[in-house]
Structure 1
Amino acid sequence: MTHFVLVAGAWLGAWAWDEVAAGLRSAGDEAHPLTLTGLAEKRGRAAGLQTHVQDVVDEVERLDPHEVVLVGHSYAGIPVGQAAERIGGRLGRVVYVDASVPRDGACFLSGWPSDQVRRSIARNDGFWPPLDAAEFAGQGLTDEQIARIVSAGTPHPGASLTEPARLTHSPAELPTTYVKCLLDGPEPSAEVAALLTSERWRPAELDTGHWPMFSQPRELVRILRESAV
């Protein structure tokens, strides 16, 4: 039995993992979807990146498993990757699901044109509003899935996107699986490609878009379970 801590990306909470969590549990594993501070049922609370790192660390300490698989989707890869090096021997594996990977001194918005996002955060009292439905097109989602994401999504705490990551070691040193969602781009970023040369990193692919917990939950469950072996 494996303990999975599941953390979704921007605008999403624990609810985003409903189908994946059910699939893991039906296979005999433990699934622990986590809502980060400021999102979903915790919405409206200001939170920086280190708050989200501590959310993940606190959840692992609460569960106190012998080994845990930390799963970070999209933005959540950045707090999950930092938490992974802070939980010591409790870590079994990190799984990045089409995710950003932390780099010491860099933030989520580093390395891509982010002026529009920063202006949006400034206009919305420090929060990044969810995307419109049209922006989910071409990602393998049904109209119903898009409607669910848009209706349940909540503004994301902007400080968590602009605060730099703090790492002691390279993510390459930790046992890791990186899941690339091909409709979101056929190749990983140059940074991820470099990390995948590490002996401790394994690649995986899903022929779907950036939100596979909705578009291909069964296939994602399969990859998560295979990653824990």
Structure 2
Amino acid sequence: MANFVLVAGARLGSWAWAEVVPYLGAAGHGVHPLTLSGLAEKQGVPAGQQTHVQDIVDEVERQGLRDVVLVGHSYSGIPVGQAAGRIGDRLARVVFVDASVPADGEPFVSAWPDGGAMVRASIAENRGFWPVAAAAHYKGHGLTDEQIARIVGGSTPHPGATLTEPAALERPLGDLPATYIKCTLGDPEPSDDVAKLLTSEHWRLFEMDTGHWPMFSQPSELAQILLAVAGE
């Protein structure tokens, strides 16, 4: 059986996986949703990007997990992709859920069209944090009004340094056993960096006909893909 370590995207905590966890547990797998430093119930804990990488590595090592399926959603693909290269033979597979992927020496914001200028400005204006997004940010992603309210209500400002500090890869991402889950609603094609990685024999692609937060909009469908991945 696999051990899933689930890491949600910016502003979110372990609570975001609440509707996915039961499906994975019912199939007999270990399930470990993780809140990164500075977010949700860990709000107030100082965090840079390497803090988040270490959060993930520490969770795996502290619990003595093996056959680990590391799952990173959105922003969390950045620390998850780095952590995957640091847990050695404990890793079974890394899964990127509509996620950013790290590039060695580059920060999360470098992939933004303006090079991250707007995000950096927002962080500077908000005392070092990326503020919580308004409800309008989540429109057009297959979410109900109730689901949007739950996301907004549970979100916390995101530690800015985690978005602007550079990634440090110990293994090339293309060498890792990896699955990319592309949410196609409104944005059907993988980004160029992901498309390049998908040419690796170690990577494979799944698509979901929903928006960027499938753990809310299609939790059962997301869980079924994760279970398929664990069975590979």
- TM-score, length basis structure 2: 0.97
**2:100 corresponds to which residue?**
100
**1:128 corresponds to which residue?**
130
1:64-119 deviations in whole A, cap 9, x for unaligned?
Answer: 12210000000000000000010000000000000001110011000212222111
- The CA distance in 2 between the partners of 1:117 and 1:44, in whole Å, is 20
Which amino acid is the alignment partner of residue 32 of structure 2? H
- Whether the 8 Å contact between 2:2 and 2:66 is mirrored in structure 1 is no
- Whether the 8 Å contact between 2:135 and 2:149 is mirrored in structure 1 is yes
- Whether the 8 Å contact between 2:185 and 2:209 is mirrored in structure 1 is yes
State how many pairs are aligned.
229
1:121-180 deviations in whole A, cap 9, x for unaligned?
Answer: 111110001110011100000000000000110000000000000013310000000000
Shift in CA distance, 184/168, structure 1 to aligned 2, threshold 3 Å? farther
> Alignment partner of 2:205: what SS?
strand
- The CA distance in 1 between the partners of 2:58 and 2:186, in whole Å, is 31
Alignment of 1:66-81 (within 5 A): 66-81=66-81
- The CA distance in 1 between the partners of 2:223 and 2:111, in whole Å, is 30
Which amino acid is the alignment partner of residue 139 of structure 2? A
- The CA distance in 2 between the partners of 1:40 and 1:168, in whole Å, is 29
Alignment of 1:22-171 (within 5 A): 22-112=22-112, 113=114, 114-171=116-173
Alignment of 1:167-178 (within 5 A): 167-178=169-180
Q: Any stretches of 5+ residues in structure 2 without a counterpart?
A: none
1:11-31 deviations in whole A, cap 9, x for unaligned?
Answer: 000000001111111221111
- The CA distance in 2 between the partners of 1:10 and 1:81, in whole Å, is 15
Which amino acid is the alignment partner of residue 38 of structure 1? G
Which amino acid is the alignment partner of residue 92 of structure 2? G
Q: Any stretches of 5+ residues in structure 1 without a counterpart?
A: none
**1:12 corresponds to which residue?**
12
- Whether the 8 Å contact between 1:5 and 1:70 is mirrored in structure 2 is yes
**1:191 corresponds to which residue?**
193
> Alignment partner of 2:89: what SS?
helix
- The CA distance in 2 between the partners of 1:221 and 1:179, in whole Å, is 12
User: How far off is 1:184 after superposition?
Assistant: 4.5
User: How far off is 1:223 after superposition?
Assistant: 0.5
- The CA distance in 1 between the partners of 2:181 and 2:162, in whole Å, is 23
> Alignment partner of 1:86: what SS?
coil
- Whether the 8 Å contact between 1:184 and 1:210 is mirrored in structure 2 is no
Q: Which runs of 4+ in 1 moved over 4 A?
A: none
Which amino acid is the alignment partner of residue 115 of structure 1? A
The answer as to 2:175 corresponding to 1:202 is: no
